[in-house]
């Protein structure tokens, strides 16, 4: 199939009228590359410049935090009401693909915050992460008050408005992977008995209110999207039926795109790994490429907005197949590529030029948690190299990458805590 005929390179019109020039998105990865003061700087500018020139129609940033005391990692970026916008304007200018879109992923980690950060962990309930021997690395959460929930909702709106002012063309609200909004959605971590807990209508209330508040403060042509788990892949957790119900609730609220993923720190299905089997989906099923596409097609059946799927897409043929309709006639509209674009920043351009497939190094350690951490560490090696103007390097040691990443995180944690104390 020629590039001009490939569905990958056809435009997509969103509900608000914005047109994305093709169906490929550089999906979000946590770069951990901020400058002093938790601000974007030269490394992020260079990394996003490379991705902007790589051929995607849409670029999603890694986590940008809505609160300085709630970080997924010590090298993360923060955007609050008082934040200087100059570095963000530079980031937006460098990172927007030609004729395309640059959306800021905005997030709050909730209980998924490291104890070493020295901050109070908030969550819907006081249910700590169950990471086995690694549980002690994370702060013990406490349940949020009504006032704190309202403050959180407003923070998402403030960060969205600031992102628009800086020149970003949209935001993505992170409601997946076990972060705070995902914690509200899951009955395992949300045991509240008030309006924010209980059935899926109450558990999704915070997400609905965040979307409403954002839409009230941004322009109609500013895109608002949501990243949602197709499932948590934990027994008794957030399910595909829950995901379908949430998307039905988002219909009509001005959401322009929903990205489907899955998993959390406890069950990292976003890397093709699960802690337990659920609903007949085995680990071998999830390990295949485009491993969330079947879930996404089911969600697309009820969605009035386009659905994007991210996870394991490395080959052009697999990407094209992922855009095909299922037997019921429903299809995914956009594809997110994460790790593939860490190892090959211009992968879409290479696909345009012909069949170019990329194989990523596997980390098949018995301990799934350590394996997941090693996968992220190996990926960060590539992000650091590209950010420094170098070529990616696939042959790196997972063990030494993980060790180096932990050392760097300690240094960044010290810098973060010094900044917070000031």
Domains and CATH numbers, the chain: 7-362 (3.20.20.70)
- Regions of the chain short of the pLDDT cut 70: 1-4, 267-290
Strands 19-20 and 12-13, how do they pair? antiparallel
In DSSP notation, 331-373 reads ---EEEESHHHHH-TTHHHHHHHS-----PPP---SSHHHHHH
Q: CB atoms < 10 A from the CB of 52, how many?
A: 20
> What is the C-alpha separation between 66 and 181, in angstroms, rounded?
12
Per-residue model confidence (pLDDT) at position 3: 66
> What is the C-alpha separation between 6 and 4, in angstroms, rounded?
6
Per-residue model confidence (pLDDT) at position 276: 39
| Structure-token match 């879930």, residue found | 295
Q: CB atoms < 10 A from the CB of 213, how many?
A: 18
For residue 23, what are the contacts with CB-CB under 8 A and spacing of at least 6?
Answer: 7, 8, 9, 10, 12, 57, 323, 333, 334, 335
> What is the C-alpha separation between 296 and 330, in angstroms, rounded?
9
Evaluate the CA torsion angle 361, 366, 367, 369 in order and state its sign.
positive
The two three-digit tokens of residue 384, written as one number: 């650091």
Question: 3-state DSSP call for residue 288?
Answer: coil
Assessment of whether the complete model's pTM goes beyond 0.95: no
Q: Rounded to 5 degrees, what angle do the CA atoms 97, 25, 152 make? A: 95
* 258-274 tens-digit pLDDT: 999 887 787 665 544 44
Q: CB atoms < 10 A from the CB of 125, how many?
A: 20
* 17-31 tens-digit pLDDT: 999 999 999 999 999
Q: Rounded to 5 degrees, what angle do the CA atoms 140, 141, 146 make? A: 160
The two three-digit tokens of residue 413, written as one number: 């944690």
């Amino acid at each position: 199939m020629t590039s001009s005929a490939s569905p990958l390179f056809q435009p997509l019109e969103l509900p608000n009228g914005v047109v994305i020039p093709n169906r490929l998105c550089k999906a979000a990865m946590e770069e951990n590359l901020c400058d002093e003061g938790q601000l974007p700087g030269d490394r992020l500018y260079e990394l996003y410049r490379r991705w902007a020139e790589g051929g995607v129609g849409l670029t999603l940033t890694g986590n940008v935090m809505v609160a300085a005391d709630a970080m997924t990692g010590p090298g993360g970026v923060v955007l609050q009401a008082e934040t200087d916008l100059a570095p963000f304007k530079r980031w937006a200018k460098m990172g927007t693909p030609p004729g395309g879109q640059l959306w800021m992923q905005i997030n709050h980690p909730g209980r998924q915050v490291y104890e070493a950060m020295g901050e109070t962990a908030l969550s819907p309930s006081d249910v700590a992460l169950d990471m086995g021997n690694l549980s002690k690395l994370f702060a013990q959460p406490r349940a949020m008050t009504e006032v704190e929930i309202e403050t959180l909702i407003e923070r998402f709106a403030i960060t969205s408005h600031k992102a628009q002012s800086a020149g970003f063309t949209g935001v993505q609200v992170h409601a997946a992977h076990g972060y705070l909004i995902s914690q509200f959605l899951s009955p395992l971590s949300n045991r509240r008995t008030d309006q924010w807990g209980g059935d899926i209508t109450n558990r999704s209330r915070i997400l609905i209110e965040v979307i409403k508040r954002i839409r009230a403060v941004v322009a109609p042509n500013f895109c608002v999207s949501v990243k949602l788990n197709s499932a948590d892949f934990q027994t008794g957790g957030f399910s595909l039926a829950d995901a379908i119900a949430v998307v039905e609730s988002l219909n009509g609220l001005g959401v322009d795109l929903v990205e489907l993923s899955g998993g959390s720190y406890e069950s990292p299905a976003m890397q093709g790994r699960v802690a337990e089997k659920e609903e007949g989906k085995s680990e071998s099923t999830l390990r295949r490429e485009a491993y969330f596409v079947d879930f996404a097609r089911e969600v697309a059946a009820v969605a009035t907005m386009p659905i994007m799927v991210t996870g394991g897409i490395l080959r052009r043929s697999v990407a094209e197949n992922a855009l095909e309709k299922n037997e019921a006639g429903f299809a995914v509209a956009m594809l997110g590529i994460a790790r593939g674009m860490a190892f090959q920043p211009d992968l879409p351009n290479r696909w345009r030029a012909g069949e170019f497939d990329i194989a990523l190094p596997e980390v098949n350690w018995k301990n799934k948690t350590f394996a997941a951490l090693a996968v992220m560490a190996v990926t960060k090696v590539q992000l650091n190299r590209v950010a420094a103007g170098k070529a990616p390097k696939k042959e790196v040691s997972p063990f030494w990458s993980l060790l180096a990443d932990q050392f760097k995180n300690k240094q960044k944690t010290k810098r973060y805590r010094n900044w917070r104390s000031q």
